[in-house]
Amino acid sequence: MFCYNCMNRISDQNNYCRHCGRNSYPDRTPHHITPGSDLKGRYLVGNAVGEDGFTITYVARDLNIDERVVLKEYYPMGHVHRDSDTSKEIVLNSQDEAAYFGKGSDQFISDAREAKRSGKADVRDIFTENGTVYLVTSYHGQQLGSRSHASGSENYNDGYEGESLENERDKTDISSAANKPSQPKNKTGMIIAISVCAAVVVALAVIMIVFFANSKGKADHEATTEVVTTVPPTEAPTTEEPTTESNDIEMPDVRGKKLSDAESQLRELGLKTEVTREYSNTVAKDYILRQSIGSGQTVLKGDTVMLYVSDGPVPEPTTVPKPTTAPKTTAPKTTTPKTTSPKSSQSSNSESGNWLDRIAEYFDSENQ
């Protein structure tokens, strides 16, 4: 188990490190690599110890040789972002930053190689991972010097300056020991020393009492004389003009920051914010794409700044299935049987009646 602050081994269950005198707590800054992560399967990353706008410096441990080293990561603030809770990869704020980032990382590698060649720094390793470039130097690395960035507008320093925490602590212990008075060799000498110190303290106390008594008497005498002989002049009351606080504010650059961090920073400056969300395939959700007022411009307290925030990747279109048409059903036709009126039977009955009537008439005529 290692201390995240100095990457020395610790065995205290309470995470206290006797080497640096601090408790080992991991750095939770969102855009820093999470302490305890490994790079290249070789370097165990500790807490960040420095950040200059273009690089982040970490204390680390080289597991292959079991030594502490300094790890520098190329991270141009405002052009890239990272959420260490989800990934170690850094992401460009937009595709327009690709040329700038590529030129800067090439310059970073070139400077590191030149420092190694010239012996200005003990460069152990140079490698790429997580979408950026890393430089490894010894823990007692020398300053590589200041060099203009690829854009020519900013500077950044490579390397790590400073001595180990153990050396600083050893120096403090040695200095304290050097200033500590020697102890008496026996009890008699100790008693004499205490007596002398007590006498000196008493003498100083008496001198201070006499001095303050004389000063008080002299001050009382001067005050009495001044009251009797002179009347202090009355002075007209002075009115202080109220100081007007300037409302001019220099607009900061919040691109690439998380929305909550950007709003908090602008709110502290007295600025108001409005948020517009846009889809982006390159910038993570809830990170600033751009701002309505450019960095460095002068604004007034109470002004409103429009923040354009990524709403994540563009959602894929969804296809709505066409409704299916139910087949038409034809009801079977029903044929109603035709009914024939009984006309023919009525005519035959009438004919039969007529015939019988005729026979009856014939027999009647014969009987007469």
Q: Can you tell me the distance from the alpha carbon of 50 to that of 56, in angstroms, rounded to the nearest whole number?
A: 6
Task: Decide if pLDDT at 338 tops 70.
Answer: no
Measured between alpha carbons, how far is 160 from 50 in angstroms, rounded to an integer?
Answer: 9
* C-alpha dist (Å) from residue 223 to 209, 212, 214, 227, 234: 21, 16, 14, 6, 17
Confidence at residue 220, expressed as pLDDT on a 0 to 100 scale: 64
- Measured from the Cβ of residue 155, the count of other Cβ atoms closer than 10 Å reads 13
pLDDT mean over 297-324:
80
Distance, in Å, from the CA atom of 14 to the CA atom of 291, rounded to the nearest integer, reads 45
Model pLDDT, residue 166: 39
130: pLDDT strictly greater than 90: yes
Task: Say which residue, 346 or 312, is predicted with more confidence.
Answer: 312
| pLDDT score recorded for residue 312 | 84
**pLDDT over 90 percentage in the chain:** 30
pLDDT confidence band for 129 (50 / 70 / 90): very high
User: pLDDT (tens digit, 9 = 90+) per residue, 156-166?
Assistant: 333 333 333 33
pLDDT of residue 223: 57
- Degrees, nearest 5: CA angle 254-258-260: 100
CA-closest candidate to residue 45, choices 57, 55, 37: 37
Selected residue with higher pLDDT from 242 and 276:
276
What contacts 253, CB < 8 A, 6 or more positions away? 78, 291, 295, 296
Token pair listed for 85: 């809770």
Class of domain 38-168: alpha beta
Lowest pLDDT segment from 176-180, 212-216, 227-231, 269-273: 176-180
Q: What span, in angstroms and rounded, lies between the C-alpha atoms of 144 and 185?
A: 53
Give the three-state DSSP class for 319: coil
Task: Check pLDDT > 50 for residue 167.
Answer: no
* Res 344: pLDDT: 47
Task: List the structure tokens of 135.
Answer: 């430089």
CA angle, residues 280, 54, 27, in degrees to nearest 5: 85
* CATH numeric code, 248-310: 3.30.10.20
Residues of the chain above pLDDT 70, percent: 67
Q: What is the mean pLDDT of residues 28-35?
A: 92
Mean pLDDT (the chain, rounded): 76
CA 290, 292, 298, 300 torsion: positive or negative?
negative
Binned at pLDDT 50, 70 and 90, residue 83 comes out as very high
Long-range contacts made by residues 90-99, C-beta under 8 angstroms, separation at least 24?
90/130, 90/131, 90/132, 91/131, 91/282, 91/283, 91/284, 92/282, 92/283, 93/255, 93/256, 93/282, 93/283, 93/287, 93/288, 93/289, 94/280, 94/282, 94/283, 94/289, 95/282
Where do the structural domains in the chain lie, given as residue ranges?
38-168, 248-310
Distance CA 96, CA 283 (A): 12
66 touches 92 (CB < 8 A): no
Decide: residue 49, CB within 10 A, 0-12 exposed, 13-18 middle, 19+ buried. middle
Single-letter residue type at 54: F
Q: How far apart are alpha carbons 273 and 304 in whole angstroms?
A: 5
What is the pLDDT, as a whole number, of residue 135? 95
Supply the pLDDT for residue 243. Answer: 54
The whole-number pLDDT of residue 333 equals 54
